[in-house]
Chain A
Amino acid sequence: MQQFIRQLAQENDFQSTCLLKILRAIQARYFHIPKAAIEQLAPILNIPRTQIQNVIAFYSFFHFEPRGKYDILISSSITDLMVGQKELIAYFAEKLGVKIGEVRADGVVSLNNTSCTGMCDQSLAGLVNGYAITKLTKARIDEIVENVNKQLPLEQWSRDFFKVEDNIIKSGLLLNQKPIQGEALKAALERGLKETWEEISVSGLRGRGGAGFETAMKWHYASEEDAEQRYVICNADEGEPGTFKDRVLLNSYAHSVFEGMTVTAAFVGATQGFIYLRGEYLHLYDKLEAILEDRRKANLLGKNILQHGFDFDIEICLGAGAYICGEESALIESLEGKVGIPRNRPPYPVTSGYLGKPTVVKNVETYFAAANIAIHGGEWFAAFGTAKSKGTKILSISGDCVKAGIYEYPFGTTIQTVLDDCGATDVLGVQVGGPSGTFIANNEFGRKLAFEDLATGGSFIVFNNSRNILDMVHNFSHFFAHESCGFCTPCRVGTSLLKKQVDKIVEGHGSAGDIVALEELCQLIKNYSHCGLGQTAANPVLTTLERYPELYQNMLKKISYEPGFDLDKSLETARRLANRDDAAAHLAQVEE
């Protein structure tokens, strides 16, 4: 092992910024990060042992204790629950002979739940040793169990399990364009970089991750800073449940995305770029590496690009299962080999980002759009959309509809139009923008997709009338409690309390004061949290409580109070250990 780790560190130039990459390799080989590996790594990377331990504890895909040789994770996104995730994972566990969350006694296989893997249009989805598997059914699970028990190497499994579809259902302005292999760069260099910036400015392009910051302004700020080095980062940590459009863009339009990054780099004067690819998209890694290699060969990356005297290259960095790393400053921390805790802002990454240098961080879709704007001009793009939201938006549609997949719409399109197109009938409501977004009811379908009205990073989950909204709220509140980075108390403690309080109500233990307590808690988390995760973590409760107060009220018992847990059951362990069963060894559940 010593040899292996030494080699690994050497390949990464002993850079602590490569910690995640190194740990991923160790985890893949030993199914955990052995203590000895930590001891060995700390001095050669010149970082404290505790930083490594911290990182292992922080990211879901790293483990102190060995996972199975086949580590199977099943997505527990709400869209997976819709296709019977709970029943199927229980079936999986039974067939494998392993408890959920545990490793089988022979060490061959482990099984657990994981947050949304970005395959909501091909649920039930999961990961085997990090590789995406889709459309799991009982039949498919049986086959997987057989493969595991035979210890068949992953390469020999049926390719069908790993098939990831693009499902582009409705193309618009951008998706209709061919992938770009040099055209955008050439156009930008011929037009002039300053002039190209003006086109971006005219286009009104705003960030596609959800927050909607103006792209031209980011370029401008980053280029204005006095610095020797600048960086361009593509945020491909698409973790918002229900979002999968970046996966499709990287699968079928990666050239365009890389070109958008290169044009950005040319303008701001960056020589190094990163694409932070979420760990769940490991299946794209080799393909993207090959595309980068092609681009280097075509002189679209590397030294003296297109003989225009500027250098730029892109490195792919894989995440390790942390939703928070989609927040740009947490992403930068993660790129630096640390835990993904959001920084204080300001300073913003455009002035002090990766390694303290000016850094442009943009979403996959933003670079994709920017590349196309560099070719076709700002007016071409700005002709679509609304006053404050120019161009088109790519949606990932999933849930109760006939055709789940990728749809592109001009901003300003109504929800009803989208629902009609995707074949959604008998609709109860739509979760726009994922758990951190808004739930809209069926009397609001005239509302529009736009930063002025309903902003979204692309997640669009449809619920029909057979669904229980509280199941969704329950799922989302568990998601946030799991994904809170733990840095600030309002979010760390708040999301856990929120989860508990929602559980209490959903499980029918709620009473008169519990809704008020729930609302107070939501306001506290929303108003006092450090970053966007906490500030939006209460949205599922707040947006549904506002629309369906009666739904919550109906869950309450007509009493003033009831404990949220089973008191007698919580004496069970003590009863067993003391070998008692007398009257005093029991507690009644008392209502007030």
Chain B
Amino acid sequence: MTNKKVKVATVSLAGCFGCHMSFLDLDERLVELVEHVEFDRSPLTDIEHCSSDCDIGLIEGGVCNSENVHVLREFRKNCKILVAVGACAINGGLPAMRNHISLEDCLNEAYRDGIGVENAQIPNDVELPLLLDKVHPLHEVVKIDYFLPGCPPSADVFWKFLTDLLAGREPSLNYELVHFD
């Protein structure tokens, strides 16, 4: 490994930040990690946009609106390796439960017909990203190189995956790291 640190960017799209929280469960291993890794765009750094030479992009959450699409594309463009992290990124997860209901019904329930709604109207400020009619997993919008399963993936999963990549090995997760019971 050269001395140059590997650049890692992270983001949460239609997710709950649970995967990021789980990442923080690396605890003292984070100290060892930052010896080899430099964080680029990430909620951990508050850097707003990816540098053009990121090595690894970790993405939590699925794609539910136009902003998610733009952010995902920025990651794809700037990261050599793009990783779908957690159930929502891989399958759409919890937010995708709305896929069984039409978007119109969802918005009407939330902003027009719901109990206690005042000044009922569908938000239409141009600053707001528009919702896609369905929530999509990441790989339906851009090419994804790796998938880390789990809700959330445990800190050990992040550790094994990143240390494999850093050591130049093909990442591999054994059964203990991905089983659910």
Residue ranges of A at the interface with B (Cβ–Cβ < 8 Å):
513, 560-561, 563-565, 567, 570-575, 577-580, 582, 584-585, 587, 590, 592
Contact = CB atoms under 8 A, between A and B. Distances in A.
A563 to B, nearest CB: 5
From B104, B130, B140, B142, residue with most partner A Cβ within 10 Å: B130
Contact of B66 (A564, A565, A584, A592): A584
Interface string B166-181: 0000000000000000
A578 B103 CA distance: 12
Interface string B100-133: 0011100100000000000000111010111111
A580 B69 contact: no
B73 interface: yes
B131 A584 contact: no
Assign chain B's interface to a size class: 20 to 34
Given A561-B143, A584-B66, A577 B126 contact: no
Contact of B142 (A565, A574, A577, A592): A592
Given A513-B143, A564-B140, A578 B132 contact: no
Contacts of B122: 577-578
Contacts of B7: none
A584 B140 contact: no
B133 A573 contact: yes
Interface of B: 66, 69, 73, 76, 102-104, 107, 122-124, 126, 128-134, 136, 140-143
A49 B69 CA distance: 44
A574 B141 contact: no
A513 B130 CA distance: 29
Nearest to B134: A570
24 contacts: A513-B143, A560-B143, A561-B142, A564-B140, A567-B69, A571-B130, A571-B132, A573-B102, A573-B103, A573-B104, A574-B107, A574-B131, A574-B132, A574-B133, A577-B103, A578-B122, A580-B126, A580-B130, A582-B126, A584-B66, A584-B130, A585-B126, A587-B69, A592-B142
A561 B143 CA distance: 6
B140 A574 contact: no
Contacts of A570: 132-134
Contact of B132 (A560, A567, A582): A567
A592 B77 CA distance: 9
A573 B140 CA distance: 20
- What secondary structure prevails in chain A residues at the interface with B? loop
A477 B122 CA distance: 39
A567 B70 CA distance: 11
Contacts of B141: 563, 567
Nearest to B143: A561
Contacts of A579: 124
B140 A580 contact: no
B73 A590 contact: yes
Given A565-B136, A587-B69, 14 more contacts: A563-B142, A564-B140, A567-B132, A572-B133, A573-B102, A574-B103, A574-B107, A578-B123, A578-B124, A578-B130, A579-B124, A584-B126, A584-B129, A592-B143
Contacts of A587: 66, 69
A567 B143 CA distance: 15
A563 B143 CA distance: 8
Closest 4 CB pairs of A and B: A561-B143, A574-B130, A578-B124, A570-B132
A213 B66 CA distance: 56
A578 B73 CA distance: 24
B82 to A, nearest CB: 11
Nearest to B129: A584
A585 B66 CA distance: 8
Contacts of B140: 563-565
Contacts of A565: 136, 140
A396 to B, nearest CB: 38
A234 B142 CA distance: 51
Contacts of A577: 103-104, 107, 122
Nearest to A559: B143
From A561, A574, A575, A578, residue with most partner B Cβ within 10 Å: A574
Contacts of A573: 102-104, 133
Nearest to B145: A513
A580 B102 CA distance: 19
B20 to A, nearest CB: 25
A173 to B, nearest CB: 54
A583 to B, nearest CB: 9
A34 B144 CA distance: 47
A571 B76 CA distance: 21
Nearest to A560: B143
A346 to B, nearest CB: 25
Contacts of B131: 571, 574
A587 B72 CA distance: 13
